[in-house]
Structure formats: C-alpha cells, structure tokens
Amino acid sequence: MGVRFVFLLLIGFILLTSCSSGRVARTARIETVINTARSYTGTPYRYGGLSRSGMDCSGLLHISFQAAGLQIPRTSREQSKFGKKVGIDELRPGDLVFFAAKKWKRKVSHAGLVTEVRGSRSVKFIHSSTSLGVVESDLSTGHYRSIFVRARRPKY
C-alpha cells in the first residue's frame, strides 16, 4: 500500500508539473507577442509593410507572432480563420480581434491583438491604424464596437 501510494503521488506530481510548465511556456509566448507588438508603437501605417519604417495591421500581427516562434497567416482575412472562435465577452490577452471597414459589411479588413482585459467593458488591443500607425485602442469605443466582426484564440 505504501509503495503504491508513493507511486501514485509521483505520477500526480509529474502530471501537474508538466501541465503547469506548458501553461508557463504559453504565457511567456503570449507576453513575447504582446511586447513585440508594443515595441512597434508609433510605427507609421504602410499597406503591405513589415518593418519599423511602416506596416499594416496584419503585418504587425505576423511579425509579433514570428518573434515568439509562431507562424500565423499574413493577411487579416486569413488570420480571421486561424485559431479557435471566441466570443467578445471571452477575450483575453493574446486573442486576435477582427473588424470590417464598414459596419454593414461583415468582410474582415482589419486586425488587432488583445493586450489587456479589465472586465468586459475595457478591452485594449494593439493594431496599425491607417491614420495613427501602430497604437493601442479600446474595443469598447463606439467605433470599434460597431465594426467588430469576430475574435480568435490562436494556439500558443
């Protein structure tokens, strides 16, 4: 009985530590993606751009995920099909958010990365805006809420 108990305890310990180390690695990758995106704050918008001299919204996400050793599609439309669908009320840092240029059309044309969540009424995301370049915005503002299309949770 004693040997069996110790064996089960050891197996339980191994399972717990392997799960938590996976969680730690996932958290570190999410932080790398967010910190990389934030390092581009102020970079001007440039359609198709992938550098500090200029980048578009999907390029910002592409480069930021690359920094964490992760690959995602290059365009916002393809990125909007990548990962698991999540509701707007389920968002957490590292999730991707997608928008349409016109609220009455549901065609994805813009993408961002969730950076902070402080309840359902305050969700910050970083993106490359055509007018402001790379900035963090609040999803709860009327403009972004009205053109929001969907959210995805990539596998980290």
All structural domains of the chain with their residue ranges: 2-153
Catalytic residue, chosen from 19, 57, 62, 143, is 57
Measured CA to CA, the distance from residue 12 to residue 28 in angstroms comes to 24
Active site residue 143: no
Active site residue 57: yes
pLDDT at 101: 84
Rounded to an integer, the average pLDDT of 138-148 is 90
Catalytic residue, chosen from 19, 62, 127, 143, is 127
Provide the whole-model pTM.
0.84
pLDDT digit string (tens) for 109-142?
999 999 999 976 899 999 999 999 999 999 988 8
Active site residue 127: yes
2-153: in CATH 3.90.1720.10 = yes
Measured CA to CA, the distance from residue 46 to residue 53 in angstroms comes to 8
Amino acid type, 85: K
pLDDT digit string (tens) for 72-90?
999 999 999 999 999 999 9
pLDDT at 39: 98
